Amino acid sequence: MSASLYRREVVRELLRARGDLLGVAGLGSTAWDCTAAGDSPLTFPLWGAMGLAASIGLGLALAQPRRRVMVVTGDGEMLMGLGSLATIGVQQPANLAIVVIDNERYGETGMQLTHTAHGVDLARIALACRFRAASVVREASELAALRSAIHGGEGPLFAQVKVVDEKLPLVLPPRDGALLRARFRRALLGEAADSA
């Protein structure tokens, strides 16, 4: 089944009117997608640490239980950290959503097929790991409900959004890791970030 959703539009919709949502963006295309939707200090974009986006989201969700946390990452990145879905399933963070933008390709390295192109179903893995809700999203008409669940529904929530395997212009966030860490903490914690 060929995909009809476009990744930049999906991410832009999920981040629309984000309020105090905290974001983690997996390395590569999903980081560029989040930046294209508007660079924010409250999104932590990864330039490395492949496989760790969901774990970083878990740590953030546990530390900030009153804030919503959304991890936006790619299918290849998620596949490298499948164990973290089991770890999240044990912790049951109600404020955490994992959104996999699934183009079924390793987009940064030559568009090689990932496991999801061969039918590996990440949403069913998440369900088996005790996520409260997990689904494959294919239609634009489903995005409003997904956005609403991310911003206010009971998690942990997982969505695997099938998107067109397009190559897009790069929209890059800052790449200095210490800067990204410091600006996130300043924006979230205020002056306390400097004395903690």
The residue ranges that bind another protein (CB under 8 A) are 22, 24, 44, 46-64, 67, 81, 83-84, 86-87, 90-91, 177-178, 180-181, 184-185, 188-189, 192-193, 196
Burial class (CB in 10 A: 0-12, 13-18, 19+), 138: middle
Q: Which residues, in sequence order, are bridge partners of residue 159?
A: 99, 135
CB atoms within 10 A of CB 168: 14
Task: Please report which helix (H) or strand (E) contains residue 71, including its range.
Answer: strand 69-74
Indicate the residue among 50 and 126 with the shorter CB distance to another protein.
50
Closest approach of another protein to the CB of residue 132, in Å: 18
Per DSSP (E only), the strands in 82-192 are 96-102, 105-106, 112-113, 133-137, 157-162
Comparing CB distances to another protein, the nearer of 48 and 119 is 48
Residue closer to another protein (CB basis): 87 or 148: 87
Nearer to another protein (CB atom), residue 143 or residue 150: 150
**Shortest CB 141 distance to another protein, Å:** 32
